[in-house]
Structures are given as C-alpha cells and as structure tokens.
Structure 1
C-alpha cells in the first residue's frame, strides 16, 4: 500500500517475505566475514556472494544497478573507501578495514545490509580502527531503537548523531549518503538521514521498512568519487566504516529483517520493543 506520503507500507505477509530476503543477506554477509582473510581478493569475495545468493534462487540487488551499471554483486570498500567500492583484483591484508554492503531480491522483495570488519581480527587491528567500528555499529543500533510507531522518522538521525558525539574521538558523519525506504525496490521513499536535521520527518507507521546505514570516518566527513563513478573515498585519506540493517516497523515494535536473530539481543539491550511476525 502506498500512503499519501508516497511511502510503501507493507502488510504482515509482505514483511514476512522481506524477512526471507533479509535473512539471506545476513547469511551471505556472515559467509563473507569468514572468508575475508589476508590474501583473498575482493573479486573472490564477490564471486562467493553471487553464488550464495543465486543458490538460494534469489537475485543480487546491486548487479547492474544504476548508471553506469554497478558491475558486481556486493560493494567492498577498503580503508579510506567509504561505500560503493567495486570488487576486483585487490587482495586484502591484515589490518585492512573492510566494509561489505550486500543486497538480494527474493520473491520480488529486497534485503539490504552492510558490515565492517578488520582483516585478521583484533590482533592485527589498530585500536583506533576497532573503536571506529564499534562506534559506527552502535550508532546504527541507536538509530534503529529510535524507530517507534507515532514518533517522527528523523529521530533516527538524531539518535545516530547523539551517540557519535558522545564518543571520545571526533568522527566525521558522512551526509551525502543516507538510509532509505526499501521493499519492492531497493531504494524508496523515505530518505533516512544519519544525522540531526531540522525537519522532523513523517510519523512512523506500522508497515514501514527502512534501511538505516550510518557511515563514519576517523577524520573529515568530506568525500570524493573515484574515476569508476562508484567508489566513494574520504577526501583526507582517513579510514571509514559502514554498518546497515533493514528494519521493519510492526504494530507491536521492531523487527530487524537482516539480523540473524531479528535484532532481539540489541533491541532488548537498548529497551526497544522486539516484535517479529510469526
């Protein structure tokens, strides 16, 4: 159903279908997390993602998307690359910060999620990178927890920004790329800023599904796009992180469609209502 605000509101049955797409995306990202080791190329990770999605009789959301058409199944962004990195011959090294963004279409419905990790784990991580990832992921969850029926949508960005500003480091919040509605298309109304804005946004209604995806840098939030017309990098060369989940609003609360546990652990920890549709 399309509301007067041009937002596609989903029925409970449609949200259940979106959960299947979301689970596939979450499972694909876990496979990629395990495979993202030193010596592996970003192109090899992309091939693994495509096999995983197609084996589930689903279609990659990103492949062929946009202008120029995106040439891969997942976006893989390394170190100073923020989002939309194009996989290829680059081989990962221990200590690299890697962000992987994945989307899939299953029975006509999209799921979209992103993770960031340090290759080689904590023993190879710069502590500043570890903290960057922690703050970025936590800011995403604070934004998710701010979603509630009857509240204003842009409370999400305010919650993200509040968490980032409370950190010990002065992180850059990337503003050019924001969250979005999702459903039968990957990008739909409404836009969901990752920062505080004057406009409070629409009132949140049951059936809303959005992708919430803060992107933080260790330095300036200024960006530029590389010659491939896709890869977005930090202007000052600082490292960046990106986390994303697709979230549904139900009558009773929230269901994180791309989280393997539906978001139960983090939503409960933050005092938000976890409300999956059974």
Structure 2
C-alpha cells in the first residue's frame, strides 16, 4: 500500500491541477505529493505533460487551476521568483546556461536570494565538492563546455539556492550514457544530503532505479503511481517503456 499525503511530512502537495498554455489545458486534474526528503520520479512519453507540470510548480505557467502547496504555503498566486525564494530550484530541460559567462559566474547567478556573501561562498564550495570538475574549470566560459559539463553547471546553479526541493527536467537529454549515469549518482548524493528531489526523466529504467516512488503520466493525467520497485516489475511499464 502506498503512503498517502497524510501519512508523511508532505513538502509538496498538488491537488486537481489543470494547466496549459492557451485555451486547451495540457494537465487534467493532476494530484500528487512529495514527502520531505523523498526522491520522486515522474515518467511518461514526450507528450505526457511532464515538463508542463514542473513549470506549473515553479510558477512559469500562470494559467493554472487547482492547488499547489509547498511547505504549507499556497503557490498558485505567487510569481516564479517568489516561489524560488521559498526553496524550490528548477533545473530546466536544455540546461540554459549563460554561454558567455564563466562557470563560477553562472553558479553565482543561482545565489541571488542570498544577501550574505559568506553563505554564497559556502554554497559555492558545496557545489565544487559535488562537481569537482566545475572547480577545475571555474574560470572557463560555460558555452565552451561539453553538454555534460553544462548540465553540471545547471544543476550546480540550482543547488546554489540551497533548495528544499530540487526539480530536474529531463537531465539526461542529449548526454552520453556514461555521463547520464554519473549525473544520476550526483542526484543521489544530493538527495542523501537532505534535499528533496522531483525528477522528470525519459530514461525510465534509470529514473526508477534512482527514485523511491514514481508517477506515470499520459496525456496530461496521472495513470499509475507506486513505489519505484513495484513499477520496475509492473508489466504495463515493462512493455510500454522498458521494451521487455
């Protein structure tokens, strides 16, 4: 039996969320929850609405109906920068680094909410511990780096916020398999450090091996939910997404 939202210390709770970009909604009555210190994955096909869900959570999609509550606060009427200030770091699909800025300057952009420079420096050192390659290349322009290195910059920039919740949107997209495995190890390290993680990922096998629980989306709705272990052995998932 799955834990309900009432069984755990819920950090993020979404209820009956409908959202989209125009007259036709992309999300249809989405309900899910993420407990504090949990690692949750959302999987599904390209057109399932996974990225739209993340954009709604982080305030990048204003046309929303329903309930989004984070750490006891209603997010539905807040702007994106206010939501980030509450402790939600969104690492978008496609990385979106600033190519003509150095690695370190890119990272420091993520610490805009820190007024104390000492806190920013501590955050920077933690990111360098997580991604030693970024420390080696701190003065290199981000646009000259490989796709995997840019993804490290994007994740590191999110971690500079010192988030309570890290949202990752398709972090393996366009990366070599070895780099993908390395990145997912870092996500596990981040989770073990006490950060709650919500991962959207098309690499279903890797997502289910990383997460504790998962939701399966299809056509803007939640079709299946369960523990990651259960879903790895679910015939519907194995046939539709794992090719087994």
User: Where on the TM-score scale, by shorter chain, does this alignment land: which range?
Assistant: 0.3 to 0.5
What is the TM-score normalised by the length of structure 1? 0.30
Give the number of the structure with larger relative contact order, counting CA–CA contacts within 8 Å between residues 6 or more apart.
Answer: 2
- Higher fraction of helix: 2
Q: TM-score under structure 2 normalisation?
A: 0.33
